[in-house]
Each structure stands twice: as structure tokens, then as C-alpha cells.
Structure 1
């Protein structure tokens, strides 16, 4: 393996690779050396990326869901529960976890395995050094906007009668969502909505030729956090939308599950506002006022 201006010698263990890389590439930071050692030790980029991607996804998804399980089970923040009369039982949580795990291994794992060849074809970088924080920050901001747009229109389409019954109804089994239920969905829906999360960065990479897989990983981690927190069912005084009014958050998505209409976007509120699919007390009031104005003009 070539790292910087040095060639890493073959070594029998991961830590042996790490020591070799550290010896000849002192300009790299610890994270970059750990990263390079992983790919050098695996000797197979597809395998290295596939294992790392799947383990990261599972650790983040279930790791971020775990606090919400404790909060629901122990009743720690019941006063902040949006639908306070609908607390998920441990049985519901367990049934949901089993379904999600099955989906991860049968639907998402093959997609993750194919991710590296497709991404490499589009020019995705796995090399070191890592991109700058600024580069990663602005690219992730772009991905949030792109994915939110994809999610809004595809999610809204899934609420069309035939598609809802055939595909999206599974996700709405829980009218009061909880963290683990973020990816409780039909395999077809997982592929459709998941395309926005993975496809938008790959499209960016294909057009610009500038994307590192680390940026992709950080984006996916943040997107998982957003999806799980949006399904948490809790509205806190410190929730992000109180500081960023255009952020969607749990209150936005919880209403969608409760009423089965409106609030189709994932991260932001602007598509629902612009296309008049927002379902909030303010939006309902605004519609009533507009309807009254039209009625008065007609008279």
C-alpha cells in the first residue's frame, strides 16, 4: 500500500500495519494512521469499506436509539412526550428491533457492499490525508439540502393511495413514533428513501469529482441522528428547531405520524411551507384565514 511518499510493508496484524505506517508517515495524525492501517491490513478495499460501513451503521443506529429506549421505559421525560398517552412498551421496542435488524441484514447490507465499487467508479476517495473540516462541513450542508428535497417528494409520493397501501403503510404502524422505528419500513421504502442518503453524495462526487468517504461517513452519522431523533416522540425546550426555525425535528414528524398527512420533509420545513403541506397549528390557522379571505371576495 502506498501512503504519502512511503510504501507500507506487509505485516501480519492490524497493529503491525499501524506501527509501520506511523514509522514512515509521521506527518499523519493518529486517525489518519488508523484509517490507513485498516485498508493496508485488509488488503481488499471493497471488503474494508463494506465491513467498516456496516459496523458503523449498526453501532450508530442502535447506539443512538438506546437512550430513547431508556427514556421511554423509565419515564424520565414524560412531560416532554408529544403524545403522552402513547408510550411504547418493551415488547413493541423489541419487535421493532427484530424487524429493523432483519431489514439491515437482508436489504441494507447488500447495498452497503455494492457501495464501494459504485463510489470508486464515481471518483470517491479513500486515501489520506483527510479533507479539511471546512470541505467536509460545506459538503455535508449541501447533502442535507439535497436529501431533504429527495425525501420530501418521494415521501409525499408514497402517501398516494396505492403506494401507501403497498409500501409506506408499514412505516405508519406506529402512530406515536419512537427512536428505533426510524428505519421500520418496507424494503422498497428503505431503498427509495435510502437512495437520497447515499445517492445524493455519489451524484455530487460524480459531478465534482471531490468527495472523501470520511465525509460520507460523517454525513450518514448525522443523518441517522436526525432520523432517530425525529422519530423520538419528544419535544424539549432545547430542541434544535427552537434555535433554527427551519429545522424540522420531532414535533414536525410526530404530527405526520399522528395525522398521517403533511410534514413530508426530513430535515427542514421549507418544502412543506412553500408547497402548503405543512401540518402545524400555525399552518392550519393560515389556511383558515386564506379560505375566509377567498370566501369574502367571492361574496
Structure 2
């Protein structure tokens, strides 16, 4: 196992505790703290399939509920009401608990099983999990690409499940809450979880299949940031420091809150580009913009005639 991580010069006896393994690996030059922890974990587990499966399952649970907790506290703090997009609609504790139970069922009965096949897929297509990690610049570039690719995937499939039977039998569950809250980010029908979830997990796999250049740590960073984005988009709060005030193409909570409020439009996940280009923006401002645009076109046609 130590050879997998480029630790050929390190002699790690079997049946060592994690602390003992880390004590040996921390002496390896050229590795930072996180790389040493990562290598120690995989050496200690001594089963790559189980190690990666457990890592990704725990990463998902800790990051998802860890990110939801601050929004739950904010919902219970009167000071933040002035930043609430729909200030008179708050989820009750009962609704929060029902949502939590549904999300946990999805995590354990829909998402947990495929996770255990993730490592064999990674090995087959060349996803690396050794140390050292890629450079920060490479991680940043790849994660940015994943954001744009996932956004396109999400826009088209999310828009698709708003039609007819797809909405009635699949997507309607997610729209139970017209005023969304953080925990509701993954409150969805199992088919929707798998369909839209492929944009998060499948896109890195496809990327690596063609490029043969991706690290498992990069996927961890990507999944964490994508979870944060989805939860924040469902938070129901608009702050002066919200990211879209500084990155104008970023969607944010105001963008997605309009989608839940009006049940149509604003289909993209992270960015505003697709909705802007294809004229599917939601809300009163977008409605007025479309009406003015159509009025302007009609006046130009009348003038020509």
C-alpha cells in the first residue's frame, strides 16, 4: 500500500494503529498535513473500496448537515428576518424534521449503495488517489469546469422534469416548499436524486475518462462546494455580501427562491447564463423585462408597417 502513495522508502508494518501510521508517514518530506492524513487513512484502512466508500459517504453527510445547521439557526434568529426573501414564511420544526427524515432515507437507500462502486470505477478510468495532491491551480481550474458543465446539465434536465408527467410524478415532491430552506436542497424523488445527481458525480467521471487527469481529492473539493452551493441556493436568504453581488453570473438564493415561489423559470443551478440566454428567468423583474422586450418588438413591427 505504501508504494501506491509513492512512499517506497517508508516501511509501515501491518496492524499498526492510525496514530502509529501517521507518525511514520509524517516524516516523509514534501507532503503537507492534509496529504499525510489522506495517505495515513488509506494505508490504515487497507481496503481501497471500503476506504473511498466510507470517505465519500461521511463527506456527504458531514458537509450536507454541517452546512444546513447554520441556516437552521438563522431561521430561528429574529435579527436575520430582514434578509429573508419571503419574510413571512418559515419552516416549522415539524417540517424540518420531516424533511430531514426524507433526506436521510435518500442518503441511505438511494445514494449509499452506488458509493461503494465508486472506487472501482475510479481505478478503471484512471482517477488518482495517491499523494501528493495536484496543485491548487489545477484543482481550481477543474472545479470551475465542473461547475459550468454541471450547470448546463442541471438546466436542461431540471427544465425537462417541469413538464407534464415528469413534474407530476417526480419533481413535484421537491416543490412541496414554496419558500425553500437549506435542508430542502436534497428533498427530492429518488429518480430526481439520481438524474440531477449525475451532474455532480458523473461529470468528473466522464471528464477523467477522456482526460485521464483527475484526483480523488479534487472530486472531494468539488462535491463539497457543490453541496454548499445547493444548500445556500435553498437557504431563502439574500445578504448584502451574497456572492452574486460580486460575481454577476452567480445564481444564488434570490435566483432559486424565485423558482420555488413561481414554480417555473430559473432552472439553472449555479449560474444565471442559461436562463438569461434562453429567456427562462423567473420573478416579477424578469416578467416585466420580457413584457417590455415584446412590447418593443411589436412597436418596431408596427413602425415598419
Query: When the two structures are superposed, what TM-score results if normalisation uses the length of structure 1?
Result: 0.96
User: Within 5 A, what are the aligned runs for 1:70-89?
Assistant: 70-89=73-92
Alignment coverage as a number of residue pairs: 298
Could you tell me how far 1:73 is from its partner in structure 2? 1.9
Which runs of 4 or more aligned residues in structure 1 lie more than 6 Å from their structure 2 counterparts after TM superposition?
Answer: none
Query: Counterpart of 1:77 in 2: which secondary structure?
Result: helix
TM-score of the two chains, using structure 2 as the length reference: 0.95
How far the C-alpha of 1:241 sits from its partner, in A, is 0.5
Output aligned runs, 1:118-197, within 5 Å.
118-197=121-200
- The aligned counterpart of 2:108 is 105
Which of 33, 36, 39 is the aligned partner of 1:36?
39
Q: How much does 1:142 deviate?
A: 0.2
Q: C-alpha distance in 2, partners of 1:29/1:294?
A: 60
Deviation at 1:274, TM superposition (A): 0.6
Deviations along 1:92-117, one digit per CA (max 9) or x if unpaired, are 11111111011100011112212111
Instruction: Report if the CA contact (8 A) 2:262-2:283 is conserved.
Output: no
- The corresponding residue for 1:90 is 93
Q: CA RMSD in A?
A: 1.3
SS of alignment partner, residue 42 of structure 2: helix
**Within 1, Cα distance between the matches of 2:160 and 2:38?**
40
Partner secondary structure for residue 97 of structure 1 = helix
Task: State the distance in 1 between where 2:147 and 2:266 align.
Answer: 17
Shift of 1:22: 2.5
Which of residues 11, 27, 30 is equivalent to 2:15? 11
* Match of residue 288, structure 1, among 286, 291, 302: 291
Question: Which of 260, 266, 276 lines up with 1:257 in the alignment?
Answer: 260
Give unmatched runs, 5+ long, in structure 1: none
Name 1:276's counterpart in structure 2.
279
Distance 1:245 1:281 in 2: 19
Residue in 1 that maps onto 2:210: 207
Cα distance in 1 for partners of 2:33, 2:74 equals 36
Cα distance in 2, alignment partners of residues 39 and 173 from structure 1: 41
Runs of 5+ consecutive residues of structure 2 not aligned to the other structure: none
- Maintained 8 Å contact 1:73/1:90: no
Q: Deviations over 1:105-162 (max 9, x none)?
A: 0011112212111122111011001110001000000000000000000000010111
For the pair 1:22 / 2:26, whether they are aligned, the reply is yes
